[in-house]
Chain A
């Protein structure tokens, strides 16, 4: 197991390194450059700015600088923010992880519980309507649901704030619990939007997997032995069907970081997804590279985690 993990981790780092170099080049080969916003300046001024940002150097030289910096944890200075990329990324990481984490936990907890329940009632009224509602949520763009929720709960009822992370007028002396509550209030609507639009993916896959196992011979055997149906369902079938859920758990890792662009935008939630969209849109090469580098790490780590969990669940599987 340890050997497997070491080998697998080494592969992961290698994959990540390849992805990072490819992404570094890809970011810079996208059409347009960071001076798009400076379009109205005379050409000679734009040339001077290009020199100032080091954009006039050959791509490979830039790659060399970047890799050199990467070893020292230096990702360069963001062109849009004028601050070190690591500082900008770290500034946005807490908000991202908070929202992403809350959605992650809700999605998988509900998917496991409700997916098992619906599989046992497959084809029934509850199953059909839950699926319809959640598939509708998934089929609509998140900004649609987000705006409707804002319209009801922020503009109409004024129960929750319309956007942002915290109340700017919260006095500085109030205790941490008050601050936490304030952030939670701001998080409710984006969280709800994300859960309602993403939940169906793990739920639907898990429901399908449970349905498959409910039909497996050994589950039928357990049933024949007189094991009560609720136990068959929760003890045997649901656990045996964890495969797809575990894979999705790994696949959700990058979504935690950069997947919620549309919702982050609708709610002005300063997260990494929004930051990356902004960096790519403004061709802020250092910042965009920093974001995709984190995203790639999440992809690799997530899949490593999924493989690990799968081995733990079913030791016969060799990966």
Chain B
């Protein structure tokens, strides 16, 4: 055979679609493309969002957050493993398990599992993060097979949230014999058995995890038979997998440049889902060179407010995210249930900013474009992780906007772990950071109270602390108090709160009944289905 013909044949063979696919009359399948590989989708072992995504489908909690995302009280929660509950007194909750709940191996879910799971999670040596979250739980006891009594050490409005949200229930009958330290390398970890609407099928390390619908699940059988969770670390690779027809769902497309890649495609819908993310420039109130001294520039409230006013945050948001983000008032993401409706002065006010700076003594005496005071230029360094596309762009935008009012910013991009180290050492003037908030507004204390563990800017306002304490203890949930807290923080200007983005998710148009939840994006997958008649070949391939 002549060489060109051979090449043509080889091409034809290689480019032909994979042959021989199973056909069955199943309902459908979905390929979720993700940045991480879920290597440990087991509660207490999870190490990232991918692990949590799969764990949410394999394991149920006693109850889950309702659509309002309200964490106070129990009014808005939806039953899961517990079919009902009651409050005995201000310190005691009683849950009654659904008798139909089964582990994937057929064994019923009992109160023993719940008690065992809490015991494991509250052991600080095994699960430090859970132990911290559950620190106010005093004891968990079984009352027969179906009832669990949870007692708290003090009365507070989010007891129910802690008892349910913080911990999916693990199978005591399978894990009791495995020492906690060996759980991660045990055979159970290779094929976890849960109680959720999907069961574990297989994993190809670094590539994908496959889970399948549990038929006859007590909360209803999922109509999506088969879920493939594919990992691709690179953002472009993920979008490519979607546009080449190999993927059905992809999250984290908040940036305009990412959404623009879907512009020519008719196969996908872009759905903005409120997220718990918030991005801001944190001001250090202490001198990075001497943590006991106030910051020579930023300790002054007027200067901080001037810096915030000098920013046109609306433009920053529009340039980076288009319509997929808002300017927040105070540290409130789009999903925080106590957020305020709008932020004042998102467009900035450079005239007022200039006046405030001049009032603080900062004027451009030498005419070099940079304000100075007593011979010291108004110069600050801003640290950020250089590999984050959104923050790389945002950093250059704030630098340019501050330059226009005579503030010189030196940008210091850092490798991610090095950035975290600098941040934790509080060795920065300005820190362009982005965090995922706790759904519970009580989490705000960590970052913004005087003694908060992650209050890296050393911000301290006694009024904020007292509002925090009152809001946390308010029996009605304290919405009004939380909102005045947010306004108070905003006016203190401990940071320039830049953006609260939505999590933009691309979903293939053939899906119907699409539910995407801020607190666990894919956890509503059991309700999805493929519109009849719109099945793709892969929808008809049965689970293995």
A interface residues, Cβ below 8 angstroms from B: 30-33, 35-45, 48-49, 51-52, 77, 80-84, 88, 91-92, 143, 147, 150, 154-155, 158-174, 178, 181-182, 184-185, 188, 265-268, 270, 274-275, 278, 281-283
Contact = CB atoms under 8 A, between A and B. Distances in A.
Given A31-B417, A158-B245, A147 B454 contact: no
Given A33-B421, A42-B446, 18 more contacts: A32-B420, A35-B420, A81-B205, A83-B184, A84-B185, A91-B206, A163-B246, A164-B241, A168-B230, A169-B537, A173-B22, A185-B14, A185-B15, A185-B18, A265-B234, A266-B236, A268-B237, A268-B241
A171 B240 CA distance: 23
A48 B124 contact: yes
A163 B19 contact: no
A272 to B, nearest CB: 10
Contacts of B15: 159-160, 185
Contact of A82 (B22, B189, B453): B189
Q: Counting chain B CB atoms within 10 Å of each CB, which of A39, A158, A172 scores highest?
A: A39
Nearest to A172: B544
Nearest to A33: B417
B52 to A, nearest CB: 13
A281 B416 contact: yes
B453 A270 contact: no
Contact of B21 (A48, A91, A169): A169
In the A-B complex, the 9 residue pairs with the closest CB atoms: A32-B417, A270-B206, A48-B128, A268-B232, A42-B453, A162-B244, A162-B240, A82-B184, A159-B15
20 contacts: A30-B417, A31-B421, A32-B415, A36-B419, A39-B420, A40-B446, A40-B454, A44-B453, A45-B131, A81-B205, A82-B189, A88-B205, A162-B241, A164-B241, A173-B22, A174-B20, A266-B236, A267-B237, A268-B232, A270-B231
Contact of A165 (B22, B185, B207, B240): B207
B191 interface: no
Contact of B39 (A81, A163, A169, A170): A81
B503 interface: no
Contacts of B40: 81-82
A267 B207 CA distance: 11
Contact of B230 (A30, A155, A164): A164
Contacts of A270: 205-207, 231
A82 B231 CA distance: 17
B469 interface: no
Contact of A162 (B184, B237, B422): B237
Nearest to B421: A32
Contact of A77 (B185, B210, B234, B418): B185
Contacts of A267: 237
A154 B436 CA distance: 34
A79 to B, nearest CB: 8
A155 B244 contact: yes
A150 B239 CA distance: 11
A88 B71 CA distance: 39
B93 to A, nearest CB: 24
A232 to B, nearest CB: 27
B249 to A, nearest CB: 14
B169 interface: no
A168 B240 contact: no
Contacts of B245: 158
B128 A52 contact: yes
Contacts of A41: 128-129, 132
Interface in B393-443: 415-424, 435-436
Contacts of A51: 125
B415 A265 contact: no
B163 interface: no
A154 B416 contact: no
Contact of B13 (A39, A49, A81, A181): A181
Contacts of A155: 240, 243-244
B223 interface: no
Nearest to B46: A82
Nearest to A163: B237
Contacts of A171: 20-22, 541, 544
B417 A281 contact: yes
A268 B541 CA distance: 24
B366 to A, nearest CB: 36
Contacts of A48: 124-125, 128, 131
Given A82-B39, A268-B231, A40 B435 contact: yes
Nearest to B261: A155
Contact of B210 (A39, A81, A168): A168
B6 interface: no
A270 B129 CA distance: 30
A94 to B, nearest CB: 11
B288 to A, nearest CB: 16
Q: Counting chain A CB atoms within 10 Å of each CB, which of B47, B436, B541 scores highest?
A: B47
Q: Counting chain B CB atoms within 10 Å of each CB, which of A77, A143, A160, A161 scores highest?
A: A161
B538 interface: yes
Interface string B220-251: 00000000101111101110110111100000
B31 interface: yes
Contacts of A182: 18
Contact of A31 (B228, B241, B418, B453): B418
A27 to B, nearest CB: 12
Nearest to A39: B420
Contacts of A278: 233
A159 B11 CA distance: 9
A168 B446 contact: no
Given A38-B129, A185-B14, A281-B416, A168 B31 contact: yes
A31 B230 CA distance: 31
A160 to B, nearest CB: 7
Contacts of B210: 168
B454 A168 contact: no
B335 interface: no
Interface in B164-215: 184-185, 189, 204-208, 210
B424 A39 contact: yes
B48 interface: yes
A186 B420 CA distance: 37
B45 interface: yes
Contacts of B18: 167, 169-170, 178, 181-182, 185
A248 B378 CA distance: 53
Contact of B233 (A91, A160, A169, A265): A265
Contacts of A52: 125, 128
B333 interface: no
A187 to B, nearest CB: 9
Contacts of B538: 169
Contacts of A268: 207, 230-234, 237-238, 241
